Amino acid sequence: MNRPAVILLSGGLDSATALAIAAEQGFTPYALSFRYGQRHAAELRAARRTAELAGVARHVVADIDLRVFGGSALTDDIEVPKDSSDEEISSGIPVTYVPARNTIFLSFALAYAETIGAADVFTGVNAVDYSGYPDCRPEYLAAYEAMANLATKAGVEGDRPLRLHAPLIDLTKGEIIREGLRLGVDYAATSSCYDPDGDGRACARCDTCRLRLKGFAEAGVPDPAPYRSTPR
Amino acid sequence: MNRPAVILLSGGLDSATALAIAAEQGFTPYALSFRYGQRHAAELRAARRTAELAGVARHVVADIDLRVFGGSALTDDIEVPKDSSDEEISSGIPVTYVPARNTIFLSFALAYAETIGAADVFTGVNAVDYSGYPDCRPEYLAAYEAMANLATKAGVEGDRPLRLHAPLIDLTKGEIIREGLRLGVDYAATSSCYDPDGDGRACARCDTCRLRLKGFAEAGVPDPAPYRSTPR
């Protein structure tokens, strides 16, 4: 029987690719997404569709309300930055940073893993395009894994330590897309935009849209996802 | 101006004491509690009352639903153990263990701390009476602190590292109670029982009731909290 693994699934292209990699490595995927006071539900629809297409064993959507604290464009009413330069995108900590978001998401993944007896957690975090996010760096993930192995029943009584897999950590967006296409990921089902319209069509101008489009250009294929107008 | 600190406040006597210690150390306390699919609301009422009595700057109650995963007596319908022997209480991992609970709670505390610019988080965890919980051990807390300092803006850009305070970690229940009484904590407002009745009165028979009553006996004072019948 295949071993179970928990996959953090945001609805974006990175986590869809991480899910495909987990499945290729022989894990039975259990997907985990969050309803966390997002201003847009498009990414949850994309997560559900991606989980269906990948045939996951189960897809849990956990409710967490980060709005009780405030502090970021993705949960507050701060204006999402548009038309940033490449330098602006890659320097400093972005306004769209959500405090401790990955730490919270990984903690729920840990609870889920322990509940289903999984020793493996996959995340699509990536250090190349998101150098500004402290919780996307390899040293953070290593420290998280060390903590997790002290936190749980499995770490204390189990025979297999918990492993935190970040298969995209060193890949560029173009490399991620090429890997996903090789594994049959349908990127039309994914949604990366910080500011989609009511039909879930992407803006093509926010930082993640720009990184995504640059990635598809790098991979030499068109982005199959719906945009409000033809991307430049 | 006093520095802000986030205090995890469960409604039990340990976290009420940790809150009083934070205040005595000169921090402005911001309390954080959770509605996490508990079978009983008594502990949240106790947390609210304790926060009021301590005059915290703010008390946030975050909603998280650990029931989506299942896995413990506190969120599932497993029978809460009653009349355990002292050996049973202190050996192994209890059935009331919630997977990754402290990791999730601390992650929310981290988000809250970052949002209000706090570099200090207080938890009432205690390794003496809860040796069975992996996430109540000093080595777990040290690993969490190391991870947290890699996770956040403050850890990357800030001038003060995040400190995770566990002032009760090495104290017996009796010592905790004596310290709290010295600081004026009103333990009548706290609730520790895993199985309170509709009026919030404790059962006196579950593991935490027994630890609590043993602690008051050790401290040489009666427990002012309401019980369904006179505790043995």
The CATH number of residue B157's host domain is: 3.40.50.620
Of A137, A132, A60, A42, residue with least CA distance to A90: A132
- Chain mean pLDDT for chain A: 85
- B-chain residues near A33 (CB < 8 A): none
In a domain, A226, yes or no: no
* pLDDT at A116 exceeding the cut of 80: yes
Residue B27 in contact with residue B3, Cβ under 8 Å? yes
B104/A111 touch (CB, cutoff 8 Å), yes or no:
yes
CA distances for A166 relative to A103, A191, B150, angstroms: 14, 20, 16
Contact assignment for B103 to A99 by CB distance below 8 Å:
no
Task: Evaluate whether residue A229 is within a structural domain.
Answer: no
Sort out which chain A residues have CB atoms less than 8 A from B71's CB and list them: 111, 114-115
In B199-228, the residues whose Cβ lies within 8 Å of chain A are none
For residue B78, the model assigns a pLDDT of 47
Chain A hits for B70, CB-CB cut-off 8 Å, are: 115
CB A47 within 8 A of CB A10: yes
CA A13, CA A138: separation in Å to the nearest integer? 20
Query: Is the separation of the CB atoms in A128 and A171 below 8 Å?
Result: yes
Does A200 fall in a domain? yes
Q: Does A138 touch chain B (CB under 8 A)?
A: no
- Report the predicted TM-score, pTM, of the whole model to 2 decimal places: 0.88
Q: How far is A40 from chain B (nearest CA, A)?
A: 20
Question: A51 or B208, which is more confident?
Answer: A51
Residues in chain B where the model's pLDDT stays below 50: 72-74, 76-78, 95
Residue B225 lies in a domain: no
- Which of A206, A230, A161, A232 is closest to A12 using CA atoms? A206
Q: CB of A189 within 8 Å of any CB in chain B? A: no
Structural domain contains residue A231: no
Question: Which of chain B's residues have a Cβ under 8 Å away from the Cβ of A135?
Answer: 150-152
Q: What is the ipTM of this complex?
A: 0.86
Q: Tell if the CB–CB gap between B143 and A147 is shorter than 8 Å.
A: yes
- Residue A62 to residue B63, Cβ atoms within 8 A: no
Q: Is A152 on the interface with B (CB under 8 A)?
A: yes
B21 vs A79: CA distance, rounded Å: 40
Domain presence at residue B185: yes
Is there a contact between A111 and B101 if contact means CB atoms under 8 Å apart?
yes
Lowest mean pLDDT among A1-15, A105-119, B93-107, B140-154: B93-107
Locate B87 and state its tokens: 């050996």
B109 to chain A, minimum CA–CA distance in Å? 9
Q: Which domain holds residue B29?
A: 4-219
Chain B hits for A66, Cβ within 8 Å: 111
Decide if A150 and B157 are in contact by the 8 Å CB cutoff: no
Q: Answer for the pair B81, B95: CB distance below 8 angstroms, yes or no.
A: yes
Q: Is residue B184 part of a domain?
A: yes
A218-224 average pLDDT score: 96
What is the average per-residue pLDDT within A174-184? 97
SS3 content of chain B, % helix, strand, coil (to 5): 40, 15, 45
- Does residue A88 carry a pLDDT above 70? no
Residues of B in contact with A68 (CB under 8 A): 60-63
Residues of B in contact with A152 (CB under 8 A): 99-100, 134-135
pLDDT value at residue A55: 95
* Residue in chain A nearest B100 by alpha carbon: A111
What is the identity of the amino acid at A26? G
Given an 8 Å threshold on Cβ–Cβ distance, is B99 in contact with A155? no
pLDDT of residue A68: 78
Contact B99 A134 (CB under 8 A): no
pLDDT at site B71: 53
Name which residue leads in pLDDT, B94 or A125: A125
Q: Are A206 and A80 in contact (CB under 8 A)?
A: yes
Tally A–B CB contacts below 8 A: 146
pLDDT value at A230 more than 80: no
Residue A77 pLDDT > 60, yes or no? no
Q: What is the mean pLDDT of residues A147-166?
A: 82
With b meaning 16 or more CB within 10 Å and e meaning fewer, what string describes B47-84?
bbbbbebbebeebbebebebebbbbbbbbbeeebbeee
Question: d(Cα A148, Cα A167) in Å, to the nearest integer?
Answer: 18
Residues β-bridged to residue A62: A34
Number of domains chain B contains: 1
Look at residues B11, B62, B65 and name the one whose alpha carbon lies nearest to residue B208: B11
Closest B-chain CA to A115 = B71
CB B150 to CB A157 under 8 A? no
Report whether B168 contacts B17 (CB < 8 A): yes
The partner residue sitting opposite B107, judged by closest CB among A63, A104, A134, is A104
Query: If we measure between CA atoms, which residue out of B137, B207, B202, B215 comes closest to residue B174?
Result: B215
